[in-house]
Structure 1
Amino acid sequence: MKVNRDKKDWGKYSAVGGKSTREVQRRSASSFEQELSQQYQSEGQLKMQEILQQLDNVADRLQRSLSVSDLMLYKRLVKDFLQEAAARAYLLKQEQGRSRRGRSLLVTIQTVDKEIDQMLDDFTRRKPEPMEVLEALDKIRGILVDLMV
């Protein structure tokens, strides 16, 4: 296939950076990007609030009667909350630490996991006082609320 190049028409086109070209001005962020970001944040907050409400319901059941099944449900809900928070970790204030392999970790998430594991260990080893369990549940809830803010 042969392309015919007519030298007469070359005057219509200007070189890059010539007088007839305009530079595209770049703004900080488009309104669409801002709206999308706001929707993503609000959807994440709503999901985290729903999980927190479920955690409160399970904590109320634990106040009435301590059971291993409710404790395991509480642990699963906390894990769900932490997964949601980790998925949106860039929206959170990140406190980063280093593991042995040099990976960045959210220190706050590790702290919550330690609290839950300690509470489960205490529950299985000995029958804790209800006030101790409620105190641990309150401490964990406080950490989770801090993650939401």
Structure 2
Amino acid sequence: MTTTIKKFQVTFDCAEPERLARFWCEVLGYVVPPPPEGFATWEAHRDALPPEERDTAFACLDPSGVGPRLLFMKVPEGKAVKNRVHLDVRVGTGLVGEERLAALETECARLEALGAVRGTLLRADGVNESCQNMQDIEGNEFCLD
């Protein structure tokens, strides 16, 4: 049986969809899609919605069209436990040793300036290369690898 490859999006439950989407745009080089037809800006679109539908979701896209769309949906509950799925931001691909650690550190410092929180640095163990655990601005875990 042949399976066709399907496009997918990654959806995050969160408290502030637009703020979190814009953070991930900066992390990944993604962009905010254009506002819906008939609206010059996202703000104009938001203002046209009934109050209960405002600020409930926001998305960002890979401008090359290769990566998945990220969708951020507002939920009433806060984050309670560790993510079961997380993003690995590939900044050290092909690098090893000190060169890899330097690349991870440079990106970690850039993301901390955006509000991310540094976690544990997992050093190379002979099987896996080094990676840096992080949390985004709402506490969602991700890795720099």
Using the size of structure 1 for normalisation, the TM-score is: 0.32
Structure number with bigger Rg: 1
- Higher RCO (CA 8 Å, separation ≥ 6 residues): 2
| Higher share of residues assigned helix | 1
TM (norm. structure 2) is 0.33
